[in-house]
Amino acid sequence: MDFLQLDLPLIWAVLIAVAIMMYVLLDGMDLGIGMLTAFAGDEDERNMMTATVEPVWDGNETWLVLGGGGLFAAFPLAYSILMPAFYLPVILMLAALIFRGVAFEFRHKAVRRPTRLFWNGAFYGGSFAAALCQGIILGGFIQGVTVEGRAFAGGALDWLTPFSLMVGFGVVAGYVLLGACWLVLKTEAELQAKARRWATLALVAVAIGFAAISLATLSIDPRVTERWGFSMTHLEPGKLLPLGLIPLAGLALTLALARDLVTGSAKAPDWRPYLLAAGIFLSGYLGLAVSLFPWLVPFAFTVHETAARDNALGFMLVGAAIMLPVILGYTAYVYSVFWGKVKPGDGYHSA
Amino acid sequence: MDFDALMLSRMQFAFVIAFHILFPAFTIGLSAFLAVCEGLWLKTGREVFKQLYLHWIKIFALAFAMGVVSGVVMSYQFGTNWSVFSDRTGSVLGPLLGYEVLTAFFLEASFLGVMLFGWNKVGRKLHFAATVIVALGTSISAFWILSANSWMQTPQGFDIDPVTGNFFATSWVEVIFNASFPSRYAHMMLAAFITTAAVVLAAGAWQTVRGHKSEPTRWQMRMAAGTLAVLMPLQIWAGHWSGEVAHEHQPAKVAAMEGWCETLDVQGTILVAWPADNECGRAEITIPGTSPYLFNTDEPLRALSSFAEEDQPPLWLVFWSFRIMVGSGLAMLAFGVWGLFLWWRGRLDRPGLFHWLAIPGGSLGFIAVITGWIVAEVGRQPWTVYNVLRTVDSVSPVEAGQVALTLLIFMTVYAIIFTAGTIYMARIATRGFDDHPPDIDHGERRAPGSPLGAVDDPAQTPDDTIATV
């Protein structure tokens, strides 16, 4: 195969973006459910909630490894600048994911009340902290990092700004929305009604949060505003109108989801809220891509400037071209094995 | 010792990887053991193998979760703490790690769900397939990570970009199948199987000592002792092979392992030396004249002091780790042979000295794995990519304070989950098998088929008298 004709860095940028999107949609939902377990009525309900994702969370989290590993493999320079730049939030996120991950198992093992409470807390606390850190990292990424030569040259707390905190809470709200919508799909009766209420509240927060983040992003750098087709002085309808469809789609999906959540199962199928929530995330993600492309280390290095050698990208692309369809195939298979409502009897009984 | 960002980053990496390696080493072996048990059950229809499977899968679920969460950390450590290394080697090592994710991680993680929660959802053969796939996934994962690590030991098939100074591959076959990879992969896989066998043996011994005699307890001890007795000799051979390759490509590492104080044509094998340093005239116990049997070379065997000072790994750490590793291995060989002897004499399920010793013996595999990795990785110092990129030139431009803080975070988090995980696993492992287990498909206890089956219920734990919520 002749790789010279392919724009390999661009292909890999898209692949990694897809991996991160998969992570957000799948593990974001796990983290959202994790946070919501803090509001479960009792231990049975909490166990029902975790049972909706227990067989799949591990695979879901693997997309994060593909995102991180893929960044190292395909864009080593970006990886080697961004990781030190977000040193503390990355490591806090990892620590939070450790607690969340083992708590899936450990909370069922704890026989004494204090330890069980500890692992329950580790589960929702870890989920919250991981989501918040991911949002803060995203916020720090959007606002750009200080670079000198080929290395990060900023301070240890550069990432900590009102903007990054705002994105942090936006991501938290978004994950809660995804998690609540998954619960609408996987549960029935009382818990499902609760999940609808949670989803409605989260949707309000998401609508406000995403809108605020979008507007703030426009003011981050003149190049971003330029990209969307306007600035302080002029307006380019030729750019703004087609691109404006993305936030409009997001708005339409938000309204559709609001309607579904209000009308309930009678009129809206249970699978639709999750899909609509995923659509809202997708619109936000596309908007972000429009704002930041081609920067991979905003606003210092582009996708092409940070890419690994073409022979490395080509070698990996062969593997990805074969393996990604296979992975998506068996992921779908595993989801289909565990398809359907989680029954109260499936939940965890306390002794 | 200077506690700068470099030293702290080395400590942090050593800590998080040493913690992580415990779980893959155990789950690689345990997944293979589970596949064997389920396969034997399907083939022979004997209940004992199903009991073993359903027992050990609960421990596997815990160990695997701990391996996953500590493994995610590793994929970010390169960037957070070793960013210059990542930038320089990304075009060579990146694809190997990428292939690990694509060919192994997803496979393990996805089919783990079927393995743990699919007992009643998929057919027996499909479930067995899921177990085999998970076991295969762990071996594939080890393949790529050992390949990447071995390339750092014996780099080949690469060139260096004159502008950026970055490495790039000239031959992927040479990169992947680098000189030290085959022997090190064999050594690590055998180590994983042996580590698990020692744990399984210890659990069986504990059950026996506590008076829980049952068919599965008997069988797990037989299988574990047999595995140790067969694989340990193979492991000694693989270790020797690995040592020969190291001697050819990393003579300073072997010099530190052996601890010779002067360069000679014929060296002895130093059993112990104090103090462990380069100086001749120290107190030591040595078997003289062994080197012609161990090293296939005509060259004189170099002492560590004959290498330039800036190219020497620290001697005492490598020297002692090597001896502890070998000692642990020989002890496990003894357990294997002893266990088989007791089986032959029909005394394997009568509690005795063997059982009391085998219980702490369950940690020997882990000790050997950790010390073995210290030999390999500290022996590689002062290089990250041997003879090409120095450790001091690999570290991230982060402040020492940040690294110290995060090291503290990792130590705290890992201390908590290690303690809890070990207690939970030991609770299950030491529990006796009920000779007449409840019907797993209809019993009141949760079957492995239900979404929470694999994670067990506290009602079965030994201290079920403690009030729970």
Judge: B91–A308 Cβ closer than 8 Å, yes or no: yes
- Of the pLDDT bands very low, low, confident and very high (cuts 50, 70, 90), residue A179 is very high
Helix A87-109 vs helix B400-430: crossing angle, to nearest 10: 10
Mean pLDDT value across chain B: 85
Of B65, B399, B461, the CB nearest to A102: B65
Q: Which of A340, A208, A183 is nearest to A261 (CA)?
A: A183
Q: What is the pLDDT of residues A303-332, one digit of tens each?
A: 999 998 888 899 999 999 999 999 999 989
Q: How far apart are CA B74 and CA B68, in angstroms?
A: 10
Q: Is the pLDDT of residue B422 over 50?
A: yes
Count CB-CB contacts under 10 A for residue B150: 26
Q: Which of B66, B63, B134, B75 is nearest to B101 (CA)?
A: B75
Q: Where are the alpha helices (DSSP H) in A144-188?
A: 162-186
Query: Which tokens is B145 given?
Result: 């990570």
Q: Which helix (H) or strand (E) holds A229?
A: none
Contacts of B469 in chain A (CB under 8 A): 43, 113, 116, 350
The DSSP letter of residue A1 is: -
Return the bridge partners of B283, or none. B274
Judge: A77–B80 Cβ closer than 8 Å, yes or no: no
Q: Which residue of chain B comes nearest to A318, CA vs CA?
A: B99
Of A43, A68, A311, the CB nearest to B76: A68
Return the bridge partners of A152, or none. A147
Contact A57, A6 (CB under 8 A): no
Q: Which residue of chain B comes nearest to A148, CA vs CA?
A: B397
Q: Which of A192, A190, A172 is nearest to A181 (CA)?
A: A192
**CA angle B201–B417–A59, rounded 5-degree value:** 90
Contacts of A112 in chain B (CB under 8 A): 466, 468
On whether ipTM exceeds 0.85, the answer is yes
Q: pTM of the full predicted structure?
A: 0.88
Give a three-class secondary structure readout of A53-121.
CCCCHHHHHHHHHHHHHHHHHHCHHHHHHHHHHCHHHHHHHHHHHHHHHHHHHHHHHCCCHHHHHHHHH
Q: How far apart are CA B315 and CA B304, in angstroms?
A: 8
Q: Lowest-confidence range among A246-255, B84-93, B100-109, B257-266?
A: B257-266
Distance linking the first and last C-alpha atoms of chain B: 50
Count CB-CB contacts under 10 A for residue B288: 9
When pLDDT is averaged across residues A37-57 and rounded to a whole number, the result is 91
Locus of tokens 């051979």:
B237
**Per-residue pLDDT at A351:** 24
- Virtual torsion, Cα A173, A175, A177, A179, nearest 10 deg: -140
**Per-residue pLDDT at A346:** 58
- Chain A touched by B402 (CB under 8 Å): yes
When pLDDT is averaged across residues B176-186 and rounded to a whole number, the result is 94
Q: Which of B73, B160, B452, B466 to mutate to test the interface with A (most CBs of A within 10 A)?
A: B452
**CA angle A170–A157–A38, rounded 5-degree value:** 40
**Per-residue pLDDT at B456:** 45
SS3 content of chain A, % helix, strand, coil (to 5): 75, 5, 20
Q: What is the pLDDT of residues B218-247, one digit of tens each?
A: 899 999 999 999 999 999 999 999 998 998
Q: Which residue of chain A comes nearest to B175, CA vs CA?
A: A312
Distance of CA B438 to the CA centre of its chain: 35
Q: Give chain B's length.
A: 469
When pLDDT is averaged across residues A159-186 and rounded to a whole number, the result is 95
Give a three-class secondary structure readout of chain B.
CCCCHHHHHHHHHHHHHHHHHHHHHHHHHHHHHHHHHHHHHHHHCCHHHHHHHHHHHHHHHHHHHHHHHHHHHHHHHHHHHCHHHHHHHHHHHHHHHHHHHHHHHHHHHHHHHHHHHCCCCCCHHHHHHHHHHHHHHHHHHHHHHHHHHHHHHCCCCEEECCCCCCEEECCHHHHHCCCCHHHHHHHHHHHHHHHHHHHHHHHHHHHHHCCCCCHHHHHHHHHHHHHHHHHHHHHHHHHHHHHHHHHHHCHHHHHHHHCCCCCECCCCEEEEEECCCCCCCCEEEEECCCHHHHCCCCCCECCHHHCCHHHCCCHHHHHHHHHHHHHHHHHHHHHHHHHHHHHHCCCCCCCCHHHHHHHHHCCHHHHHHHHHHHHHHHCCCCEEECCCEEHHHCCCCCCHHHHHHHHHHHHHHHHHHHHHHHHHHHHHHHCCCCCCCCCCCCCCCCCCCCCCHHHCCHHHCCCCCCCCC
Give the range with max mean pLDDT: A169-173, B47-51, B253-257, B343-347. A169-173
**CA angle A83–A84–A90, rounded 5-degree value:** 55
Q: How large a percentage of chain B has pLDDT more than 90?
A: 42
The DSSP letter of residue A309 is: P
Contact B461, B423 (CB under 8 A): no
- Of the pLDDT bands very low, low, confident and very high (cuts 50, 70, 90), residue B467 is very low
Contact B157, B199 (CB under 8 A): no
Q: How far apart are CA A82 and CA A296, in angstroms?
A: 9
**Per-residue pLDDT at A344:** 67
Give the range with max mean pLDDT: A170-184, B73-87, B277-291, B440-454. A170-184
Query: Which tokens is A60 given?
Result: 């879901």
Of B87, B97, B451, the CB nearest to A346: B451
**Per-residue pLDDT at B182:** 95
- Asked if omega into B313 is within 30° of 0 (cis), the reply is no
Q: How far apart are CA B365 and CA B30, in angstroms?
A: 13
Of A58, A105, A152, the CB nearest to B62: A105
**For residues B465 and B182, which has the higher predicted lDDT (pLDDT)?**
B182
Of B83, B172, B468, the CB nearest to A111: B468
**Per-residue pLDDT at A345:** 56
Judge: A315–B68 Cβ closer than 8 Å, yes or no: no
Q: How many CB pairs under 8 A join A and B?
A: 286
Q: Is the pLDDT of residue B51 over 50?
A: yes
Q: Which of B12, B76, B441 to mutate to test the interface with A (most CBs of A within 10 A)?
A: B76
Q: What is the pLDDT of residues A74-98, one digit of tens each?
A: 998 999 899 999 999 999 999 999 9
Burial of A71 (0-12, 13-18, 19+ CB in 10 A): buried
Strands B383-385 and B269-274: unpaired
- Chain A touched by B113 (CB under 8 Å): yes
**For residues A231 and A142, which has the higher predicted lDDT (pLDDT)?**
A142
**Per-residue pLDDT at A41:** 87
Q: What is the pLDDT of residues B29-38, one digit of tens each?
A: 999 999 999 9
Query: Which tokens is A313 given?
Result: 């990208």
Q: Which of A101, A85, A76, A61 is nearest to A137 (CA)?
A: A85
Q: Is the pLDDT of residue B435 over 70?
A: no
Judge: B452–A102 Cβ closer than 8 Å, yes or no: no
Q: Which of A98, A187, A316 to mutate to test the interface with B (most CBs of B within 10 A)?
A: A98
- Chain A touched by B462 (CB under 8 Å): no
Count CB-CB contacts under 10 A for residue B353: 8
**Per-residue pLDDT at A2:** 53
